[in-house]
Chains A and B, each alone.
Chain A
Amino acid sequence: MTQDIEMKDNQTPTQSIIVSATTSTLQHLKEIAALIDSGSYTKEVRRIARAVRLTVGLRKKLTGSVISSFLDFALVPGSDAHTRLSSFVPKSNEHDMEVDTASSNSQATTKHLPAELEIYCYFLVLLFLIDQKKYNEAKVCSSASIARLKSVNRRTIDVIASRLYFYYSLSYEVTGNLAEIRGNLLALHHSATLRHDELGQETLLNLLLRNYLHYNLYDQAEKLRSKAPRFEAHSNQQFCRYLFYLGKIRTIQLEYTDAKESLLQAARKAPIAALGFRIQCNKWAIIVRLLLGEIPERSIFTQKGMEKALKPYFDLTNAVRIGDLELFRNVQERFAKTFSEDRTHNLIVRLRHNVIRTGLRNISISYSRISLTDVAQKLRLNSANPVADAESIVAKAIRDGAIDATIDHKNGCMVSKETGDIYSTNEPQTAFNSRIAFCLNMHNEAVRALRFPPNTHKEKESDEKRREKKQQEEELAKYMAEEDDDDF
């Protein structure tokens, strides 16, 4: 690492600023290429993973000329892959050509071309095309890369391949024909499973879930999810996504308790920088908690950078908390556009029932005896026969245990029961037990999640490792943030 920096420093003063920027990016790319070369030679997946991370760091600096010079450097000019990939990249101008020739003269041409490097070139070009918003070209390029990938079976490629899958799906999503590639993704998942490529399986499973959910095919998504092989997550981002999709599926299928767990976990595990993703998780989590009859704390809505996006949901929560049907309807209409964009509209329709419940609970706490006509009025039930409706609604609430009361049918009123002394029952004991169990479980999970790097005893490397790890974390966060910008 230190050597690399020195090399760069030596070069910069000799050339003009613009050229030096280009060359240094090119230089970086060449270093990455060397890394991939050695990774492919020694069969070390770690090196390839690092190469990919470094590339993401360079993403902002990539220009057409840098990439075309790099392609000239990495691939054999005139070869199949070279011509295909160069066609995606705009021709560089004369000035850059000079630099290009100068640098390619200095480097000895690589005779032996590892498959990793070729795939990496695809990745680089794809990244460039997507950043330039040339989605149709990106579609063609990614399809070509996927076709090429099928003929390669090396574990060292998996890391790059999983990224390629992601951009493959992204480019189709942006152009609006996600359904086309579903069959392809399934085939890829199939072969990833056969090749024990767990990272690939993980990525592809998420892409498939995303693909299904894009078209609201919850049934198919759940069938695939429950049958696909599961293993310990390799990548945190993919795991977060998986949890999010899982939460969505479970919400639709009315398994609110499980859904809440997955959604909250997804929101917690996501890196701080991935704001878009976290907002989305929070939106769903808020609805699920409301459906469960919980009222989310105010602090959830005031998280940094989320206030504006969560405002409709804040108003919604407020309406549910007060139990005012009129207000609820109002919020529903006012933010109808937001809710249908978030595709939460149907869930919010389900909430009506909870609003009535809360309203009823408030009434039952405030009055020891109230006529059903007044109940209907307070709940603002707009129906043909409000009293009869109120009576059956109250009856159901009593049966479901939402309120503790009886109905006096003859006089048409609801009589609330005295609240009993809860401490004379076993309730507090069970509540205590469940909380303790939760804490102990949390501790055990945390201990189990502790990871120790395999080579800690090697003192010499530890310094570099630490720095690398830190850098890696930063890149990850940044990467996730960028991806989520694309997503939402």
Chain B
Amino acid sequence: MDPQLTEVSQQFERFKAAFVRKDFNSCGDLLSQLKVLLTKFTSLPPLFENTPNAAQELTIARDIYEHAVVLSVKTEDQDAFERDFFQLKPYYVDARNRIPPSQQENLILGLNLLRLLVQNRIAEFHTELELLSSATLENPCIKHAVELEQSFMEGAYNRVLSARQTAPDETYVYFMDLLAKTIRDEIAGCSEKAYDYVSITDARLMLLFSSDQELLAYVQEEHPEWEVKDGLVVFQKAKETAPCKEIPSLQLINQTLSYARELERIV
């Protein structure tokens, strides 16, 4: 066996051991060393040279990056997630016909979709979605993320929240929690437009707080303009578009002059 490959796999074993111990600091160190070692393999993207050990090297490299992605979720580092995911992606797309598909692939792709959703990068979410085949779309991990996006767009927030229980993998919970926070802000924004007032109990239930204190603290911090009195939360309605009393004369003059100028050019 190639000495470099042996070195990498030994290092990787140590990484996995630390990973199981949940010793994330040493995991990070080992990972950076591994990444440096990987640069010596010419069979990896973007070169894809046909070396004798190409398949093994590709498989182990993919395995390392998959672990890196999961590690970044555990350490709750979204930037690292993005970096590692982009390094991993060529293994799924370009190396598809060189090595057998990975068991983890759908899980990781689903995680990435969820990340894009949490970061509200919907355009990228859909771009990624286009790359998936219809068979992949049926996979529970992917389907989970896709349905979340739909419910989110419709405004069916309950469904998004209840999806936390049906998360296909424990790594998903981190993003689901982030999503729950985004949703609370969304609900607050919608409620303030849709209701004149609600009782404190209803507001607490709607905004998913377990106690009235938490609700009051949230109101004070995020929406100081809301009024709390007589057991009710009264939303200050944004000023309705008042019928215009004044004629915006300057603007009108400008517009009319520009019409005149243009018309003159035509005639």
Q: Which residues of A contact B (CB under 8 A)?
A: 216-219, 252-255, 340, 345-346, 349-350, 352-353, 356, 381, 383-385, 388-389, 392-399, 405-407, 409-410, 420-421, 424-426, 429, 433, 436, 440, 443-444
8 of the cross-chain contacts (CB-CB < 8 Å) are: A219-B124, A253-B123, A346-B129, A349-B146, A392-B156, A395-B194, A406-B196, A425-B241
Closest-by-CB residue of A relative to B150 is A352
Asked, given contacts A349-B150, A353-B150, A409-B202, whether A392 binds B190 with beta carbons under 8 Å apart, the answer is yes
Kindly list the 4 A-B residue pairs having the minimum CB-CB distance in the complex, ordered from nearest: A396-B155, A424-B243, A395-B190, A395-B194
Do residues B131 and A399 form an inter-chain contact, with CB atoms below 8 A?
no
Contact of B159 with A by CB under 8 A: yes
Closest-by-CB residue of A relative to B265 is A444
Of B186, B194, B241, B266, the contact of A406 (CB 8 Å cutoff): B194
Chain B window 183-204, contacts with chain A (Cβ cutoff 8 Å), 1 for yes, 0 for no: 0001101110111101100100
By a CB distance below 8 angstroms, the chain A residues around B155 are 392-397
Of B134, B244, B262, the contact of A340 (CB 8 Å cutoff): B134
By a CB distance below 8 angstroms, the chain B residues around A394 are 155, 194
Do residues B243 and A425 form an inter-chain contact, with CB atoms below 8 A?
yes
Of B123, B131, B196, the contact of A216 (CB 8 Å cutoff): B131
- List 6 extra interface pairs beyond A255-B123, A385-B158, A425-B243, CB under 8 A: A349-B146, A349-B150, A350-B153, A383-B159, A393-B155, A407-B194
Q: How far is the CA of A212 from the CA of B131 in the complex (A)?
A: 11
Do residues A407 and B195 form an inter-chain contact, with CB atoms below 8 A?
yes
Closest-by-CB residue of B relative to A336 is B134
Do residues B262 and A253 form an inter-chain contact, with CB atoms below 8 A?
no
In angstroms, how far is the closest chain B Cβ from the Cβ of A351?
11
A-B contact count (CB 8 A): 100
Closest-by-CB residue of A relative to B189 is A399
Do residues A393 and B130 form an inter-chain contact, with CB atoms below 8 A?
no
Of B126, B189, B255, the contact of A253 (CB 8 Å cutoff): B126
Do residues A352 and B154 form an inter-chain contact, with CB atoms below 8 A?
yes
In angstroms, how far is the closest chain A Cβ from the Cβ of B202?
6
Contact of B3 with A by CB under 8 A: no
Of A217, A353, A405, A410, the contact of B153 (CB 8 Å cutoff): A353
Q: How far is the CA of A217 from the CA of B241 in the complex (A)?
A: 44
Contact of B127 with A by CB under 8 A: yes
By a CB distance below 8 angstroms, the chain A residues around B190 are 392, 395-396, 398-399
In angstroms, how far is the closest chain A Cβ from the Cβ of B13?
35
Of A252, A356, A389, A410, the contact of B159 (CB 8 Å cutoff): A389
Do residues A399 and B194 form an inter-chain contact, with CB atoms below 8 A?
yes
Do residues B202 and A392 form an inter-chain contact, with CB atoms below 8 A?
no
By a CB distance below 8 angstroms, the chain B residues around A399 are 189-190, 193-194
Of B154, B162, B202, B244, the contact of A426 (CB 8 Å cutoff): B244
